[in-house]
Amino acid sequence: MTAGLAGLFVAALVAATLVPAQSETVLAGMVALGDYPVALLVAVASLANTLGAVVNWGLGRWAALYRDAPWFPASRQSLDKAEGWYRRYGIWSLIASPLPFIGDPLTVAAGLMRAPLVAFVPLVAFAKTARYILIAWPVSHLAGG
């Protein structure tokens, strides 16, 4: 993997965790440069972002024990909001996993609520891939690709 693709992978992975980061501008910039096929960039970003969500899911499995600890990376309020959303819409709420502010805590809530990983991964992967396609497609057309 080249340094550019590795950078995109790291940016997308970190952006999917509770660490404040974003990967959309990295993807858009790389698409605009045209050094890599758009499909490859979307695939790398989607895979990494989905893996980051799996990290959150795992954190959610532990959250019941540590959610009130001062070092826990999600606020009680954001977890409560995400849990409420998850209780209301169930596993299908994971389609909202790419959304700002609610998406990352929602993936933690899915772990907390013991969502099966075999259902979690396809839904999150679909949602995150769709988001990256919606970012990459217009940029590639604007950049003449």
Tokens of 36: 């890599």
| Greatest pairwise CA separation for the chain in angstroms | 51
In the chain the first and final C-alpha atoms are separated, in Å, by: 22
Mean of the per-residue pLDDT values for the chain? 90
pLDDT band at 145 (very low <50, low <70, confident <90, very high): low
Q: Which residue has the tokens 């974003």?
A: 22
The amino acid at 116: P
pLDDT of residue 1: 66
Torsion, Cα 122 98 67 81, to 10 degrees, reads -110
User: pLDDT for 45-54, tens place per residue?
Assistant: 999 999 999 9
User: pLDDT for 41-100, tens place per residue?
Assistant: 999 999 999 999 999 999 888 877 777 788 777 777 877 887 787 788 889 999 999 998
- Res. 125: pLDDT tops 90: yes
Contact 53, 105 (CB under 8 A): no
The dihedral through the CA atoms of 60, 128, 6, 23 has a sign that is negative
User: pLDDT for 1-23, tens place per residue?
Assistant: 698 999 999 999 999 987 888 89
